[in-house]
Each structure stands twice: as C-alpha cells, then as structure tokens.
Structure 1
Amino acid sequence: MPIKAILTDIEGTTSAVSFVFDVLFPYAAKHLPEFVRAHADEPQVAEQLAAVRAEAGEADADVERVIEILLGWIAADRKSTSLKALQGMVWAEGYRAGQLKGHVYPDAVEALKRWKQRGYDLYVYSSGSIQAQQLIFGCSEAGDLTPLFSDYFDTTSGPKRDAQSYRSITQAIGCPAEEIVFLSDIVEELDAARAAGMQTVGLAREGGELAGHETVASFAQIDLERL
C-alpha cells in the first residue's frame, strides 16, 4: 500500500541532538528561573507549575522550590509534559528576541519540501512540546517551515516508545497505519511504530544500523515509493 503520510521525529532526525542539548537546554536552564518568577501568576504558567507540584508530590512547594525541581528535571532530561511546556514558553521568548534559530538539517529541509510538493501529508511527533516543535520549524535557519506540516504530536499523545501512542496518532491522522511512515533515530520508537502497523525508516546520521529497520544516513536516501 503506498505511503500517504510521513510522521517524523525531530531530535537526531530532522535536527541535530547537539542543538537541543548544547543550545536549547542550556538556554532554558539559564532563563527559566527568571521567566517563572516573572510569570508565575499568569494562568498558563500557573497551570504548569501546579502540574509540576503534582508530579513531584510536593503540593505546597513555593515558586523557588518549583524552580529547583524544574532545573533538576532539565539536568536529567526528564520527559515531563509540564517541563516541556514551560521550556517551550522560555524558548518562545528567545526565538522572538532573535537569540535562537532552529536547526534543521539541509537534507531534511529539501526532502520535506519535495514531499509536500508531491502531495504527501507531513506530521511531527517529538517529546518536545508542540509549541517547541513549531518554534524549531517556524524560526529555523532555513526560514519558516511550519506551512509544510499538517499537525504536531507530543507526549500528550503518549510515550514515544509505546505502540498505543502511534495508534492514537494514526487515528488522528485519519489514514491506515500502513500508509504512514515514521522516521526516527531511536530503535525503541521505531519498534513501537511498527507494532502499531506503521512503516519505518531509521536515521543513523553517524552511520551504523538501527536493528530491524531500514536505516539511512540522511533524508536524501529515503525512497518513499520503495517502502
């Protein structure tokens, strides 16, 4: 059955892992305390701070303690939805100020544009919040790439190594799973997508194989018609 939709991961797939770990995370760690103190009473921020307290099991934590928790989660690369949402808000300020530009590999930019022109529907699934995803592509070094994508999915759809998450995304996309190809650099994510019925292609930009999946070193090597 021919591929109709492409679902792509970001970190390590369309974008360098180093951009996330060496640029975005340090930026969030530096600016998050000031951001939380300045905006703690705003409903959107207060909602996420309440979620942090609940997740940490510290219902009475004051703002400074919540900041301490968040910085610990950043250091541990914790996949917390509330942390991701707050990081996204901090990054939004950085992108708006021109202090951040999203990294997207040139081969990914070229392929995504070509696939869009050919009528494929493009989607993103990343552990980063939907807002953070839109910022990386919307304020990228290659310009605003958001018009290429039909929708975005994050951890609110479920963990990336859980097949049920991909079943939920398939339902949201609205076409059979076998007509969707998922692109990622993580074997466990590819395994989960395949368990949900999707086609898979692994990205190993430094070379090597992602066991059990067709593996390429760049988007230029992906042949959708051959899947």
Structure 2
Amino acid sequence: MKQETPNVFLFDIEGTTTPIEFVHKVLFPYSDSKFLSFFREQFPEEKRFEEFKTASEKETEFDGPLEKTPESLSRFCSYLVSKDRKLGALKETQGKIWKRGYESGELKSTIFSDVPSFLGKIRNSGKSAAVYSSGSVEAQVLIFRYCEAGDLTPYFRSYFDTEVGGKREPESYLRIADRLGVSPNEIVFFTDIKEEAEAAISVGIRPFLMERPGNVPQGPHSFPTLRTFDDVPPDFLGT
C-alpha cells in the first residue's frame, strides 16, 4: 500500500497527551468519590441501568447482585473503576461527574508540555487533529477545554470514543477514517498500547508508540516510538 503524507493526526489521551498518573490518581478517584451523591441526585434511565445490570452479571468477582439503588450502583461503578473496565454507561457517568468538577473549578487537567505546540504546528501546516479514546467524547472535550495550558479544543476536528468500536479492533479505525473522509493511510495514530497500534496498522494507519513517564512497558514490537512530539518527523508537517 502506498504511504500517503499524513493529513490527520489521531491522538489517544491517557499516556499520550495526558499523564497516566492524572487519569488514575486524579480523575478516577474524583469520580469514585462522587458516584453515590450523583446517583442519589440523578439515577440512570432504564436503558442505562440495564447496561449496568447486564455487565454486573458477567462480573464474577463483584459481590452482587446489582440492585436498583444509588448505593448498589455506586458500589458497582467503584468496582468497575478498580478493574479499569471500559463500559459505555460507566464512561458516560464519569463524564457527567467530571463535567461538574471542571465547571466548578475542582478539576483542571494536566497535559504534557509538548502537546500545545505540536497542535499548533499541525494547524499551521493545514492538517487536522482528532482524538480517539475509551473515555466518552464529553470527557475528552473536558480534558482539553479545562487544562493548565488553556482551552485546546479549537485545535481538534473530531472526537471518537468506543461508540465506533473497541480500540483493539481494526474495524474501529476504518470507521474513523470513513467519518473523517480520508484514506486510512493518510492518518497517523499516537498511542501507548501496542495492541492498539497493531489494530491501526492492520488497516493502513501509521502508528507511533509513546514512551511517556509512567507508561506501562510494552512487549516486543517493531513500531516507531516517541518520547515527545518534538521528535515527530518534520516531513509529516511539510517542513
């Protein structure tokens, strides 16, 4: 397959643009501390509760059954967070909780220092940036809107979550390319997970593995690696 000059730079968040420590030591504990009060005020609609209930029936380690009460649902969500589950209903709930935290000023996201300048280079080159993360689109937007570097959302063209499919499934990347209106080989994808890079490259997307502080070491692979976006090949940006 002929390799095209990249036109879209697709970013993972955790371990790529944002330190893993911020997600696991700030965002997750914050949502965990708010589940009960949130559900007492705003219990999920029937469809969302059924999603939680179906998921609970597959979790053999959860001390169930899940009951239709704020207390039981809060306990199940805390369990899901402890297992780093990617359940859509959980991610949606966390997004709503984080929104309140960001808007109240209790939360402010941390972004690696090289991210804003790289996003500026992408925009100045006439190319575009997008996000693909397991967190909900709402949560993605919040991270980039309320960060220490200021509002970075104007730099991004599109946001994708697991509504397009799992991040280790090749078909997800084909759907993203289709929605962006570009060929897969016009996309560069930055991630910290080898299996995600494997799924992306299988459909023609060029992946880079990020070796950020705190990232989990990956198994053997042949993907190009980056410690910072300052090391992205200049020709990718037409310079």
TM-score range, shorter chain: over 0.9
1:95 aligns to 2:102 (yes or no): yes
TM-score, normalization: structure 1?
Answer: 0.92
Q: 1:190 aligns with which of 166, 189, 197?
A: 197
> Match of 1:7, SS?
strand
Matches within 5 A, 1:150-169: 150-169=157-176
Q: CA deviation at 1:226?
A: 5.3
For 1:226 and 1:87, the matched residues in 2 are separated by 35
Which residue of structure 2 aligns with residue 66 of structure 1?
73
Letter in 1 for 2:33: K
For 1:64 and 1:102, the matched residues in 2 are separated by 28
Q: CA deviation at 1:49?
A: 2.9
Which residue of structure 1 aligns with residue 26 of structure 2?
23
Matches within 5 A, 1:89-128: 89-128=96-135
Deviations 1:13-69 (A, max 9, x none): 00100000000000000011111111116x5xx543332123224686333222211
Letter in 2 for 1:139: Y
> Match of 1:152, SS?
strand
For 1:91 and 1:212, the matched residues in 2 are separated by 37
> What runs of 5+ residues in structure 2 fail to find an aligned partner?
58-64
Which residue of structure 1 aligns with residue 222 of structure 2?
212
> Match of 1:106, SS?
coil
Higher helix content, 1 or 2: 1
Q: 2:12 aligns with which of 9, 15, 40?
A: 9
Percent identity over the alignment?
A: 35
For 2:69 and 2:33, the matched residues in 1 are separated by 19
Which residue of structure 1 aligns with residue 35 of structure 2?
32
TM-score, normalization: structure 2?
Answer: 0.88
Letter in 2 for 1:81: G
Deviations 1:81-132 (A, max 9, x none): 1100000000000000101111111101110111112111110000111111
Kept in 2: contact 1:182–1:199 (CA 8 A): yes
> Match of 2:188, SS?
strand
Which residue of structure 1 aligns with residue 52 of structure 2?
52
For 2:37 and 2:202, the matched residues in 1 are separated by 43
Kept in 2: contact 1:48–1:86 (CA 8 A): no
Which residue of structure 1 aligns with residue 148 of structure 2?
141
For 1:163 and 1:8, the matched residues in 2 are separated by 16
> Match of 1:123, SS?
strand
Letter in 2 for 1:13: T
Kept in 2: contact 1:3–1:225 (CA 8 A): no
